[in-house]
Structure formats: structure tokens, C-alpha cells
Amino acid sequence: MTIHRPAAVVVLAAGEGTRMKSAVPKVLHAIGGRTLLGHAIKAAEGLEPEHLAVVVRHKRELVAAHVSQVAPQAVVADQDEVKGTGRAAECGLEKLPADLSGTVVVTYGDVPMLASETLAALVAEHETNGNGVTVMTAHVPDPHGYGRILRDETGAVTGIVEQKDATAEQALITEINSGIYAFDGELLRSALSQVGTDNAQGEKYLTDVLAIARDRGRRVAAHVIDDLWQTEGVNDRVQLARMGAELNRRVCEKWMRQGVTIIDPASTWIDVDVVIGVDTIIRPNVQLLGETTIGADATVGPEATISDSAVGDGTHVRRCEIDAATIGSAVTVGPYVQIRAGSDIPDGTAITSFTTHPHITDQQENCR
């Protein structure tokens, strides 16, 4: 797919996330070795936007520091005391150039499975059809809690009604608003200045921009996706676990389709930044974490945890823990071995049975 490079992506990450019941901001909870916000930023970066803004408020210093760490090119925008997604988007725009024109994508910091390719398809449809607003939607079996997509008798999108503002008839609609949009940037900026807080929540809704766009004669359309996981946000730890399990299932499937044997995907956890070589076998109860790389024709497990480490071709690792280490090729590690951070294990080494290795750099060891 040809990348339609947007003028900007604005990621909304200001929410308090009270249902997480955590001192940690919701968007800094992690699945697949990456924070929820990290996933959102990664998806946004895949569009190669000219500008990237992240809107923060709750635990501002923690979230802003994380943004600086994972996306130093991004600008951090602070949402003020005015509540609502519309105000959040407005605060993000205020940190971008005043003469910004082109497509502006708005997404959320708690939607971790949204893919860059899906965002690219949204932008492509938006720009190809000359839309003023394109909203990403999905049909779900239980729409409770989501804004509903309103259409006229021709099927054209006329607006979005939030759950608390919906009539009984509107509440039966199963096409929901994902909260992810592509806007004409100039339209968005001017329309937000007209949006008020006269609603059940007393908030400035981003969804109100759609009605304003239609009143101005601009086309409003929906980009419908089938993969519901990509629209799902995380609100509590139950959802966090569900999303983490589904993401892990997809990661395991990806590697199996690329020539890696995973004996038991249900007991295997692989972070999204892990790389595995062809013909490697992953046995049950294995965790591959962080930026770990596993070479080709290796065997890992059963019962191994490897974090931020490099494991060479043809190496066999079982019943051990390896952290921030380099393991050469044709090495045997385990059972019951701990390799600590900074260790560098030479090719052909055999390290077995109830040993801990802080640093091995200059000679082969055979501990039996």
C-alpha cells in the first residue's frame, strides 16, 4: 500500500484510567513488552507523519517522560481543565504549527492492537475520497459503552451519538465509533472552536465535529474494519489481560508462519520486539522478553526466560534464566542455570546444572 503521509497524528493519552485501580497511569501499563502508549505511538510512527503530538494530563510528568523516551521527536501537549476528547484534540493541535494543513489523524493511547497498516488504509480512504472527516468504525455484538454511528436513509454518516446521550432506538445500533479519525486539518481546527459542552457529560466531544463538517457541506464517511481487536481499548486489568493474550497469540502465529516451531503457543510468551531465526524450536513454558534475538536452528525450553539477550545459531537453552547477556552459537545452557546481565558466552560453551554466571568472556566453561 502506498503511504499517504499525514500532516500530523495526535495521540490522546490524558485520561485518568480509574478502573485500572493503579498508581501507574493506564497508558503506561504494558502488554507484549511495550506500554499501551508505546503501541499507539509505534502505530502512529508507521504513517511517517510530519508531526506527532501526544496529549497528556493525568500523572503528566510520568507520561511525558515516557513519550520522550520512546518518541523523542514527538511534542507533548497538556490538556487543561476543560474535559473531553474534543478539548484534548484541540490542545494537541495548539502545539502544532498554526498553518498546518492536510490530514490529521486522531487516535488513543490505550488502543494497543491498532496497526499502522489499518491507519494507513484509513488515511488512504480519507484522502482518495476528499472527505472532511473519516471515522473508523466496526460492527460489534455488544455496543454498550461505545458511541453509535448514525446514518441516513442513503447510508451516509450523519453523526455519532455517545452512549449517555443515545435514545432507546439509537442504543440498538451495533456500528460503533472506534474513536479513531482522519480529519481535514483546517476543518478540525476551526470546527473545534465551535464545539461546546452542552451534553450529558458536560464535555467537549470530538464527535461533534462531524455534524459541523456536514453543516459546512463537507463529506463525512466511515472506514469500517472487521478486526474488532484493533478498535478495543483497555479500561481495566481484565481487558489488559485479554488484550495481552490475544496479542501474544498473534505474535506466536506470526513466528510459526515464518518458520519457527512453537510446541505449545498457550504457554509461550513472546514480546513484540523479539526476533527468532528459522527452524528454531520453542518448547513449552518459555518467555522471550524485551529485545531478545534468537538465532536459527536453536532450541529454547522447556522452562526458560530470556530477557534482552542475544542467543546464537544452533544454541540449546533449557530450564534457565538469561538476562541482558550474549550467548554464542552452538552453546548448551542448562538445566538450572542463571546467566546474569553483561555475560558473554563464547561459541561452543557448555554450561549445565545449578550454576550462576555473572560474566564469562575469556574461556569456555564446562560445569557439570
Is residue 200 very low, low, confident or very high in pLDDT (cuts 50, 70, 90)? confident
Which fold does the domain 258-367 belong to in CATH? UDP N-Acetylglucosamine Acyltransferase; domain 1 (2.160.10)
CA distance 85 to 293: 40
Mean pLDDT over 321-330 rounds to: 98
Average pLDDT, the chain: 94
CB 123: neighbour CB atoms within 10 A? 24
Q: The domain 8-231: what is its CATH number?
A: 3.90.550.10
State how far Cα 25 lies from the chain centre: 15
CA distance 161 to 170: 8
Q: What is the pLDDT of residue 2?
A: 59
CA distances from 257 to 260, 261, 338 (A): 7, 9, 31
Q: What is the pLDDT of residue 368?
A: 36
Mean pLDDT over 51-64 rounds to: 98
Identify the residue whose cell numbers are 481487536. 229
Nearest alpha carbon to residue 32 among 242, 251, 234, 322: 251
Q: What is the pLDDT of residue 357?
A: 77
Q: What is the pLDDT of residue 362?
A: 43
Task: Give the 3-state secondary structure percentages of the chain, helix then strand then coil, rounded to 5.
Answer: 25, 30, 45
Residue 91 phi/psi, 5° resolution? -65, -40
Residue 62 scores a pLDDT above 60: yes
Mean pLDDT over 22-48 rounds to: 98
Burial of 281 (0-12, 13-18, 19+ CB in 10 A): middle
Q: What is the pLDDT of residue 364?
A: 42
- By percentage, how much of the chain surpasses pLDDT 90? 90
Q: Which of 5, 19, 60, 218 is catalytic?
A: 19
- Global confidence as pTM: 0.93
Mean pLDDT over 174-194 rounds to: 97
Residue 365 scores a pLDDT above 70: no
CA distance 279 to 206: 49
Range ranked top by mean pLDDT from 3-17, 88-102, 354-368: 88-102
Q: Where are the domains of the chain?
A: 8-231, 258-367
Residue 113 scores a pLDDT above 50: yes
Catalytic residue check, 87: no
Q: What is the pLDDT of residue 359?
A: 53
